[in-house]
Structure 1
Amino acid sequence: MTDPRTTPLHDRHVALGASFTDFGGWSMPVRYSSELAEHHAVRTAAGLFDISHMALFGVAGPEREAFLAYALAFDPTALKLSRAKYTMILAPDGGIIDDLIVTRNAEDQFLIVANAGNRDAVRTALQERLDGFEAMLIELDDSLIAVQGPRAREILQQTAGLDHDDELALGHTLDTLPYYAAMGMRFGDSAVLISRTGYTGEDGFEISVDGDLAVRLWDALLAAGEPLGLVPAGLASRDTLRLEAGMPLYGHELSRHVIPAQAGLGRVVPLSTKTADFVGRSALESVVATDAPVLVGLVSEGRRAGREGYDVLDGDERVGQITSGALSPTLGHPIAMAFVRPSVSEPGTDLFIDVRGTRIPATVTALPFYRRTK
């Protein structure tokens, strides 16, 4: 068994007192002090995340758009320069290999960000689908650092060495950068790509930087942000933040055995607007299983939260299973996502969660559980 990989920021995490976990084959900080404190910092000020375990792929070549139109479930011709899109790479049977963010980061290039645990699966699928296209797939080794929270933009603006550059900015500034868009900036003598994206339900940015500069940028962000409430944050708080925001996690809400519509993501797959015959399209168009489980939110009272794998009951009948659950730090009551039968999926439906033999009342609710106010 091989040891988990480490990011260029590993020594910084050790110095900050982080506890670590193996995530997707990487040794990643799960928390630094208190995951609750880290969670609340992101909701009220900002959190600093190392997400360098994520997989990055560049796509170039004269037939890059035609390749992506076939390989992924989205229309790359509709993606303007600097814009990003949440999409998926599907198996031929319509199951989800991974959910992705694709950015047109240059006139002649796209950037794909995939989940750490699916790096090999995504690489293999993309390489297989390259056949017949004049396009190139380039695996990148840049580091990714995220600043998430209501003070994220202010922190970036005050970070020493992070400067605007008209030639890199793709027509944006930090003040004008839209959600799901990207711009280049200068950090020292190097270019970095800053995307207004995130996985917390808060405003924020994800920064792609050369691995050799990752430590310098981390230190600069921390120095600028600490007076504003920024704290380093680990995977535990990232998980409760994304759960409150109703964001799916691969291996929990998404898998090879789930099609996008089951997870409430049918809108992501442009069956009615995209003409390209992308991999998985014919399977999705032929799916007629009206009794397939669908993803819902569940809320309950008290302090006992449903966890992954717990059964969902309608009376004494098992009608589903929890995929993610926690006591919400922001809302103060238990929340969960679960796959349940369509017949009990309407918001307001009263169900039960089997929490270690105790039936806890729960009510179906629309996702997300939390939405930022601005």
Structure 2
Amino acid sequence: MSESKTTPLYETYRKMGAKLIDFGGYLLPVQISGIKQEHQAVRTSAGLFDVSHMGEFRLEGMGAEAFLQRMVTNDVSVTEPEDAMYTALCFEDGGTVDDLMIYRLSGTAFMLVVNAANIDKDFEWLSRHLEGDVKLTNQSAEIALLAIQGPAAKKVLQKTTSFDLTEIRHFKFRENVVLDGVSVLVSRTGYTGEDGFEIYCPWDQAQMLWNKLIEIGKEDGLLPCGLGARDTLRFEARLPLYGQELSPTISPLEAGIGFAVKLGKHPDFIGKKALIEQKEKGVPRKIVGIEMIDRAIPRTHYAVYAGSAEIGTVTTGTQSPTLGKNLGLALIDSPYTSIGTEVEIDIRGKRKKAKIVKTPFYKRS
């Protein structure tokens, strides 16, 4: 196994005494002050995340849009410059290569943001299918990414810039926004279920911007956050994690991100035929929400049963910090996915009762 990479904030984490783990090939903190404390800060005030492990590709050329239309599930043709779009890459059989964000920089240029563990795989997959006037560049080592999320995120970030952040609406972005003297790309996106911004900046400027935001955000309750809170926040908002709710064996339709799959668009994209067939026949499995009836916490990979039949598996599970309930997401056979259906989870050899519930578990008002 190759040595773990580090982000620009690595030394800061070490000095803070944060517990570091390998995630997507990078050493990152699980928690800094505590998962529940960090989670609550994002729900009630603001949290700051170092997400520099994510991958960034630049795609440009006269054929860039046509290329993306053949590769991704969503309809890139409806985007305009300064639009952000969530989408997926699929294999021919409909399984998921990755889920990603596309930022339309101009009529002929895009930035693609992919999951850290999939950077090399995605770059190879896209490169293999390149044709025509299109150039693909991996800029992951040059671009750092900070995410400020929560009800106070805009207030804190606004202190660093004269640019009026209200001009950036949800799933929009602006390039060349100057934050404390640094020119960055700011998008109104995130992975927490809260309002917030993601800041794409030069790798060597991330430390300075992080320190500035921590300093000016203290009075508004901003906390630095780790992977643990990022996971519980995205889980409550029912946002999928690649490798759990999405994978080469789980299609976007099974994962419940059908809103990002446009089966009617032309030209055909890789995996479209398989996904149409899946939809016409009925999706065989679905990701659903589960709430424990018995006292127990469902965890990733625990088997789900209906009577003696094994009907699926837990993809993510935890005690929800916001709701205080033991909840999970599970990929189960479609006949058992109706709200209220009772199932059993095999928790360390013992069957514990649970029921299918509506998702997302949390939605900001």
User: So what's the TM-score if we normalise by structure 2?
Assistant: 0.95
Q: Does 1:210 align with 2:202?
A: yes
Partners in 2 of 1:138 and 1:225 — Cα distance?
Answer: 35
Amino acid at match of 1:325: G
Partners in 2 of 1:338 and 1:363 — Cα distance?
Answer: 11
Q: How does 1:73-222 map to 2 (within 5 A)?
A: 73-130=73-130, 132-140=131-139, 141-159=142-160, 162-164=161-163, 173-184=164-175, 185-222=177-214
Provide, for residues 290-339 of structure 1, a one-character-per-residue CA deviation record: whole Å limited to 9, x for no partner. 47221100012465210011111212322111010001010001010001
Amino acid at match of 1:137: L
Q: Residues 137, 163 of structure 1: CA spacing in aligned structure 2 closer, same or farther, 3 A cutoff?
A: farther
Amino acid at match of 1:331: L
Partners in 2 of 1:323 and 1:335 — Cα distance?
Answer: 11
Amino acid at match of 1:175: T
Partners in 1 of 2:320 and 2:62 — Cα distance?
Answer: 48
Task: Report what 1:275 is aligned to.
Answer: 266
Amino acid at match of 2:96: I
User: 8 Å contact 2:174–2:185 — kept in the other structure?
Assistant: yes
Q: Residues 303, 372 of structure 1: CA spacing in aligned structure 2 closer, same or farther, 3 A cutoff?
A: farther
SS of 2:154's equivalent? helix
Q: How does 1:289-308 map to 2 (within 5 A)?
A: 290=282, 292-301=284-293, 304-308=296-300
Q: Residues 225, 190 of structure 1: CA spacing in aligned structure 2 closer, same or farther, 3 A cutoff?
A: closer
User: 8 Å contact 1:66–1:133 — kept in the other structure?
Assistant: no
Task: Report what 2:51 is aligned to.
Answer: 51
User: 8 Å contact 1:48–1:147 — kept in the other structure?
Assistant: yes
Structure 2 gaps of 5+ residues are none
SS of 2:11's equivalent? helix
SS of 2:128's equivalent? helix
User: 8 Å contact 1:304–1:327 — kept in the other structure?
Assistant: no
Partners in 2 of 1:292 and 1:125 — Cα distance?
Answer: 27
- Which residue, out of 268, 272, 275, partners 1:284? 275
Task: Report what 2:301 is aligned to.
Answer: 309
- Which residue, out of 241, 264, 268, partners 1:249? 241
Cα-Cα RMSD: 1.5
Q: Residues 66, 354 of structure 1: CA spacing in aligned structure 2 closer, same or farther, 3 A cutoff?
A: same
Partners in 2 of 1:188 and 1:321 — Cα distance?
Answer: 47
Partners in 2 of 1:332 and 1:76 — Cα distance?
Answer: 39
Partners in 2 of 1:225 and 1:189 — Cα distance?
Answer: 18
User: 8 Å contact 2:298–2:345 — kept in the other structure?
Assistant: yes
Amino acid at match of 1:52: S
- Which residue, out of 225, 228, 233, partners 2:217? 225
Aligned-pair distance for 1:357? 2.6
Amino acid at match of 1:65: E
Amino acid at match of 1:2: S
Partners in 2 of 1:351 and 1:73 — Cα distance?
Answer: 32
Aligned-pair distance for 1:285? 2.3
Q: Residues 221, 189 of structure 1: CA spacing in aligned structure 2 closer, same or farther, 3 A cutoff?
A: closer
Amino acid at match of 2:284: A
Count of residue correspondences? 361
User: 8 Å contact 1:17–1:33 — kept in the other structure?
Assistant: no
Task: Report what 1:168 is aligned to.
Answer: none
Task: Report what 1:265 is aligned to.
Answer: 257
SS of 1:371's equivalent? coil
User: 8 Å contact 2:294–2:354 — kept in the other structure?
Assistant: no
Partners in 2 of 1:163 and 1:326 — Cα distance?
Answer: 41
Provide, for residues 188-236 of structure 1, a one-character-per-residue CA deviation record: whole Å limited to 9, x for no partner. 5542001111111111111000011111110111111111101110001
Structure 1 gaps of 5+ residues are 165-172
Provide, for residues 120-151 of structure 1, a one-character-per-residue CA deviation record: whole Å limited to 9, x for no partner. 11101111111x22011111120000001110
User: 8 Å contact 2:60–2:108 — kept in the other structure?
Assistant: yes
Task: Report what 2:21 is aligned to.
Answer: 21
Task: Report what 1:363 is aligned to.
Answer: 355
User: 8 Å contact 1:43–1:149 — kept in the other structure?
Assistant: yes
SS of 2:191's equivalent? coil
Partners in 2 of 1:204 and 1:268 — Cα distance?
Answer: 21
SS of 1:175's equivalent? helix
Is the deviation greater in 24-33 or in 290-299? 290-299
Aligned-pair distance for 1:58? 1.0
SS of 2:165's equivalent? coil
Partners in 2 of 1:163 and 1:266 — Cα distance?
Answer: 39
Amino acid at match of 1:158: K
Partners in 2 of 1:201 and 1:295 — Cα distance?
Answer: 18
Task: Report what 1:170 is aligned to.
Answer: none
Amino acid at match of 1:294: K
Task: Report what 1:324 is aligned to.
Answer: 316
User: 8 Å contact 2:253–2:283 — kept in the other structure?
Assistant: no
SS of 2:298's equivalent? coil
User: 8 Å contact 2:98–2:115 — kept in the other structure?
Assistant: yes
Work out the percentage of aligned pairs sharing the same amino acid. 40
Partners in 2 of 1:220 and 1:303 — Cα distance?
Answer: 44
